[in-house]
Amino acid sequence: MKSHAHLKLNRFDRIVFNFPHAVFTGSETQQHMIDSHKQLVEAFFRNAIHLLRPDGEIHVTHKTGHPYRSWEIEQLASESALVMFKMDYFSKDDYPGYNQKRGSGMRC
């Protein structure tokens, strides 16, 4: 993201990543799946922090039950010098036109 021709020229108040999901090649409880998701979120944090305004925020929507809590989102954020400010419930009404999708190609 931070190298993208258009994005790198801008700074944002908020960057939102709703329900990050890296791949769909097995059960969510398999370690390789958890690792793939963690790598995606870690790379997102490393890039997004460079696109924020000084008082900007990164919002990540994420499930908190098993196995999703093993992604350790807070720890990944901390490793990118980010601090959790607030935890809140996701309300689809806050994102007009948003529809959660999983998969690739025509499924998305």
pLDDT of residue 8: 77
| Contacts of 5-8 spanning 24+ positions with Cβ under 8 A | 7/51, 8/50, 8/51
Task: Give the C-alpha separation, 48 to 101, whole Å.
Answer: 22
**H/E run at residue 31:** helix 31-48
Question: CB–CB of 62/20 below 8 Å?
Answer: yes
pLDDT tens, position by position, for the chain (108 residues)?
777 777 878 899 999 998 888 877 778 888 989 999 999 999 999 999 999 999 999 999 998 899 999 999 999 999 999 999 888 888 889 888 888 776 656 655
pLDDT of residue 39: 95
Backbone angles phi, psi at 25, to 5 degrees: -125, 20
Q: What is the model's pTM?
A: 0.83
pLDDT of residue 103: 61
Q: What is the DSSP string of 33-79?
A: HHHHHHHHHHHHHHHHGGGEEEEEEEEEE---STTGGGG-HHHHHHH
pLDDT of residue 106: 62
